[in-house]
Amino acid sequence: MSSILTNAGAASALQMLRSLNSQMSGTQRQVATGLRIEQASDNPAYWSIATTMRSDNGALSAVQDALGLGAAKVDTAYEGMAATTDILAEFMAKVVSAQQDGIDKKKIQEELEQLKQQIVSISNSASFAGQNWLRSDMQGQASEAGAKTSVVSSFNRSEDGTVSVGTIDVDVSKLALFKNGGGGILQKEPDPDLGYGLGTIGGLLGFSTSGYGDVPGPVFDQPFTITKFDVVTVAFSVGTSNDTFVITKNVVDQALGGQIGYGFDGDIESTADWAKVLLQATFLNKAPPDILFAAQGGAPNIFFRATIPLAAELITVQPPVHTRTLPPEGIDILDIDVTDPDIDFPTITLVLDEMQQKVISAGAYLGSLRSRIAMQEAFGNSLADSLDRGIGRLVDANMSEASSRLKALQVQQQLATQSLSIANSDAQNILSLFR
């Protein structure tokens, strides 16, 4: 049926043309942008995943930049530490040479002063991005605030969607050659102590006693530390038998080291600790025939008890003798003077060797940080590439398919236009019937 009011054929052709135009617009957008899913309306689920992953990839890029900055800081500190190791080796050689008879110590001291200035110069210049790990303003131990810094190493997203930033912690207290107030690798310890300081050696310093039975020992007054440089010797007698007991760091570590809450650090923190140390020195470290008495915890704090065969004999404990191979605060490399007539060369040599070992350990620590940062950088690059590929699989357009579809749609569009033109010509055909 033909009608001049309603052209069903034209309406159908127009609808088809609109549909083709819409499809062509989407395909042209894919060809132009390279994206199959550009907007949330294209595919909400995939668009959401891809957008989140793009955000994560941007964060990973920032992490890679931070790792590069951290690597530069580590490299700077490492180069300074390596140079310091070489200088310390030369410093040690000069100090050893100064111990020869007839050598001009003033000339050697002049060389040592130049080496000192070079070490200070290295520690001052090993700075990157405003941070100098070899010369720190920190004071105190590693457990105190400010003794650590960190390098951003990763960006993490958990299964529940929460995000976090991972870091590589750097213990700067292991690296500082010099600290304000002392305590750096090449410095003496800051006043007042090494560890807890000896103080009165738990009440033993100046203590002496005699008596029968359970003789009260020293009253434990405060925590203290027996370092490897300390030797405390106490002479005592039970009846006519005389002996001594010796307290060293090794004795303390034998008594306390390895127990829960204790390290091999020479720290004596309580009456119970002190009793164990005295028991180790007076009983456990003695051969059976030499045992005269044992120290036990009791009231008020510690008491000495003779062994059973000597139970009725008089116990006499003499005042202790404390010796130390180093001054309490240690030695500062900048204070070493081989022209000093009172210089203790064996102690200086010991201290220099310890300094060199600490610097070597610090260099190894920095080397391990370099290795870890390099591995993290490589992983970060691989992870970023993986995210890029994953995003592409979700939202990228197949350009070969899109171009073929576009050509097909163009042909269909031309055919639809011709169909619409033919449908619109029906009215002209009806008009010809009235002529």
Chain centroid, CA 29 distance in Å: 50
Angle of the 271-279 helix axis to the 249-256 helix axis, nearest 10: 110
Strands (DSSP E) found in 318-409: 321-324
* DSSP assignment of 140-161: S-TTSTTSEEEEEEEEEE-TTS
Question: Which amino acid, 227?
Answer: T
Q: Give the tens place of pLDDT for each residue, 210-269.
A: 999 888 888 888 888 887 778 999 999 999 999 999 999 899 999 887 666 666 778 888
Residue 427: pLDDT band by 50, 70, 90 thresholds?
low
Residue 288: pLDDT band by 50, 70, 90 thresholds?
confident
**Residue 389 has what pLDDT?**
84
Please state the domain extents for the chain.
47-191+332-388, 201-324
Q: Is the dihedral of CA 303, 309, 315, 321 positive or negative?
A: negative
Q: Between 432 and 84, where is the model more confident?
A: 84
What CA–CA distance (Å, rounded) separates 224 from 205? 12
Q: Between 106 and 2, where is the model more confident?
A: 106
Percent of the chain with pLDDT over 70: 86
Q: Is the dihedral of CA 330, 334, 340, 343 positive or negative?
A: positive
Q: Give the tens place of pLDDT for each residue, 158-176.
A: 777 788 888 888 888 778 8
What CA–CA distance (Å, rounded) separates 36 from 38? 6
Bridge partner list, 225: 267
Residue 193: pLDDT band by 50, 70, 90 thresholds?
very low
What CA–CA distance (Å, rounded) separates 377 from 71? 9
> Token pair of 152, please?
């951003």
> Token pair of 299, please?
């009231």
* Eight-state DSSP code of residue 230: E
Q: How many residues does the chain have?
A: 435
Cis previous bond, 341, omega within 30: no
What CA–CA distance (Å, rounded) separates 81 from 87? 10
* Eight-state DSSP code of residue 309: G
Nearest Cα neighbor of 122 from 186, 190, 72 is 186
> Token pair of 253, please?
């570590």
Most trustworthy range by pLDDT among 85-89, 131-135, 281-285, 329-333? 85-89
Q: Between 67 and 296, where is the model more confident?
A: 67
Q: Between 269 and 432, where is the model more confident?
A: 269
Nearest Cα neighbor of 402 from 36, 17, 16, 50 is 36
What CA–CA distance (Å, rounded) separates 391 from 395? 6
> Token pair of 139, please?
């004071």
Burial of 434 (0-12, 13-18, 19+ CB in 10 A): exposed
Q: Between 192 and 344, where is the model more confident?
A: 344
Q: What share of the chain is helix, strand, coil (3-state, %, to 5)?
A: 50, 15, 35
Burial of 407 (0-12, 13-18, 19+ CB in 10 A): exposed
Question: Half-sphere exposure (CA, 13 Å, Cβ side) for 147?
Answer: 12
Q: What is the CA angle 141-142-145, rounded to 5?
A: 95
Q: Give the tens place of pLDDT for each residue, 379-396.
A: 888 888 888 888 877 777
Bridge partner list, 316: 210, 237
What CA–CA distance (Å, rounded) separates 336 from 350? 13
Q: Give the tens place of pLDDT for each residue, 76-135.
A: 999 999 999 999 999 999 999 998 888 899 999 999 999 999 999 999 898 888 888 888
Topology (CATH level 3) of domain 47-191+332-388: f41 fragment of flagellin, N-terminal domain (1.20.1330)
Question: Taking the model in full, what pTM does it have?
Answer: 0.57
- Residue that has been written with the tokens 């003794």 in this structure: 147
**Residue 4 has what pLDDT?**
57
Question: Which amino acid, 115?
Answer: L
